[in-house]
Amino acid sequence: MITTEFTTLFGVEHPIVCGGMTGLGTAPLISAVANAGALGFLTALTQPTPEALVREIERTRDLTDRPFGVNLTILPAMVPPPYDEYRAAIVESGITVVETAGSSPKPHLPDFHGAGIKVIHKATSVRHALSAQRAGVDAISIDGFECAGHPGEDDVPGLVLIPAAARALDIPIVASGGIATGAGLVAALALGASAVNMGTRFMASDEAPIHDNVKQQIVQNDERDTVLVFREFHNSARVARNTISAQIAEIGGRPGAVFDDVAELASGARGRAQVLEAGDMDGGMWWAGQVQGLIHDVAPVAEVVDTIIQAAETIITGRLSKVTTAV
């Protein structure tokens, strides 16, 4: 058993998190994560309406009696989702922990905290993490440059970002990006985190609601099989390497390129339908981190979590306990 400030604060057995993932953060995966003793987050905006989110929360509760949360990603849009209604659905459903991402969570904190909900905010830099701490969040998930999704524009990897955040912050830190093993968990704890977040590792699990071709591709890929796209639009994103992501990177690198030039190729709906659901690995853009190079099997979530915890405990009580300092 590895007990940390995070496990105590959020009432979970293990310091492992499955953060919100669009299209994947649904009841089958998140209930499995909860049942394994980790903390998983349903993804609010994967559900088409707040009412659908309420039903997904209820479906998850039918599958687990352990803690789980909801991710609410706040992004600018010409016609934004009804965030107030999604927030109300979360509160009225009795959720106890929320993961926020994207824009500042500050407008949502009074309602969440008023309902006794703890908030973890995802940040990609120390300055943004400090801003969220000042706003009143309860913990920070800090995303290193290795992560899938949006790593920010500073290109700081976890080996530097985690201890920099730990030095600056007074609230618990979840290390995110590049973690899939017990050694990664131990390293994150040594750097000052009190939990780790994994996305790509949980994609390669039996319960992940995606086509088996995607899971097997993650196993086959190595740490070089990602591409950074959207850099020229100041919205850098790390995605899996395939013909579509390579094409997006090439078009985006042309002088004068604008997002509309790649919008159809980069469509999230296309990636979900053609890749995640249909298993066409070159059918669209899909998300994965450099940690693919550390993932060598597809396994049940319970086995993934147990293997990581057992390996971490072995390292802490075995290898590290035998390290001595030469005099």
Q: Please write the tens of the pLDDT for every residue from 2-37.
A: 999 999 999 999 999 999 999 999 999 999 999 999
User: Domain extents for the chain?
Assistant: 5-210+297-322, 226-287
Rama region for 111: left / alpha / beta (φ>0; ψ in -120 to 50; rest): alpha
Confidence at residue 322, expressed as pLDDT on a 0 to 100 scale:
66
Q: Which CATH architecture has domain 5-210+297-322?
A: Alpha-Beta Barrel (3.20)
Q: Mean pLDDT throughout 242-259?
A: 94
Which range (76-90, 132-146, 184-198) has the least confidence? 76-90
pLDDT at 225 over 60: yes
CA distance 283 to 73: 25
Give Cα 320 to chain centroid, integer Å.
28
What is the SS3 assignment for 135? Answer: helix
pLDDT at 105 over 90: yes
**End-to-end Cα spacing for the chain:** 33
